[in-house]
């Protein structure tokens, strides 16, 4: 699969307000592998996504699995 060290979680320098007025701001970034970047509101979601992405063969597979498991 993916090299575990290739995917890191880091806090964003400042929150990014995205979506509707009631959505929480994005505060965490999951970077890697390569140039992939996903942003999340909570560290819990970022950690879940990192775990899933390490086990997945592609970004699409990881995204679909995250949507199913995060609910």
pLDDT value of position 1: 61
pLDDT value of position 71: 82
Residues 62, 52 contacting (CB under 8 angstroms): yes
Which residues, other chains included, contact 36 with Cβ-Cβ below 8 Å and sequence gap of 6+?
Answer: 53, 59
Question: What is the mean predicted confidence (pLDDT) over 49-61?
Answer: 95
pLDDT value of position 3: 78
Per-residue model confidence as pLDDT tens digits over 1-50: 677 788 999 999 999 999 999 999 999 999 999 999 999 999 999 999 99
Can you tell me the distance from the alpha carbon of 16 to that of 3, in angstroms, rounded to the nearest whole number? 28
pTM: 0.91
């Amino acid at each position: 699969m993916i090299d575990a060290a290739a995917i890191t979680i880091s806090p964003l320098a400042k929150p990014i307000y995205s979506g509707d007025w009631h959505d929480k701001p994005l505060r965490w970034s999951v970077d890697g592998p390569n140039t992939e970047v996903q942003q999340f509101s909570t560290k819990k979601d970022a950690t879940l996504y990192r775990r899933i992405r390490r086990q997945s063969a592609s970004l699409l597979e990881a995204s679909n699995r995250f949507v199913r498991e995060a609910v």
